[in-house]
Amino acid sequence: MQSYIQIESLSKSYGKHRILSGIDLVVGKGESVAITGPSGCGKTTLLNILGLLETYESGSILLSGKKYPGPETRQAMLLRRNEINYLFQSFALIDSRTVRDNLMLALYYTKLSKREKEEAIEKTLKRFSVSSKLDSNVNELSGGEKQRVAISRAMLKPGNLILADEPTGSLDARMAEIVMDSLVSAARETGKTLVVVTHDMLMADKCDRTLSMQEGKLV
């Protein structure tokens, strides 16, 4: 498998508290990897660094063989727009707009026609069992529905990397399994690389590989 993400000796501290301590990780192109561990162990910090939302102190990260830029650079902005899709716990949807509007924004920089965008949106929403909410405002949705819309947006947006922070955290057990199965299978079908942070081992086991983070180290 071709390597896509290469992390070597990555470290990060907040004040005197070491969050990440010499992380080494290689993720293959098209691979799905779950990172588990207790709250505060550093897994979300690692995801934020991969998402170009936080800096790190030492070590290196390569994406497709190219060095990661600083979060404030134009190169980082372009990567966040064109390559990296971040699925936040808070959903990061525009509450006052419809589901359709939110997902159209995800496709804004594509060359698809309006009809092709509509078809892609409907297909993806159907896959995640939320197609009936297409014309509903986001602020009318339940937490679980917002989660599924956010996942749909991540799948629709251009880019090869999906970073998912607790993607099933707002879902009941039955829907969590359905959504996680759909997320992993959709990533495989489209060749996207998926890195998931989760407390739920049942969900983690659906990925190609599961890693555990303890005290800032992957084991």
* pTM, two decimal places: 0.90
> Residue 153: which region, alpha, beta or left (left: phi > 0; alpha: psi -120 to 50)?
alpha
User: Residue 39 — very low, low, confident or very high, per pLDDT cuts 50/70/90?
Assistant: confident
pLDDT at 205 over 80: yes
Is residue 36 pLDDT above 90, yes or no?
yes
Q: For the chain, give the mean pLDDT.
A: 94
pLDDT for 90 beyond 80? yes
* Phi and psi, residue 215, nearest 5°: 50, 45
Alpha helices in 64-200 (DSSP H): 74-82, 99-106, 114-127, 143-156, 173-190
Condensed to tens digits (0 to 9), the pLDDT of residues 139-196 reads 999 988 998 999 999 999 989 999 999 998 888 898 889 889 988 998 998 999 999 9
Q: Which CATH architecture has domain 3-218?
A: 3-Layer(aba) Sandwich (3.40)
Burial class (CB in 10 A: 0-12, 13-18, 19+), 114: exposed
Residue 45 has what pLDDT? 96
The pLDDT tens digits of the residues spanning 135-146 come to 999 999 998 899
- The C-alpha angle 70, 149, 85, rounded to 5 degrees, equals 20
Nearest-10 crossing angle of helices 173-190, 114-127: 140
Does 49 score more than 90 pLDDT? yes
**Amino acid at position 148, single letter:** R
Instruction: Tell me which residue of 212, 178, 193, 215 sits closest to 203, measured CA to CA.
Output: 178
Q: Are strands 17-28 and 3-14 parallel, antiparallel or unpaired?
A: antiparallel
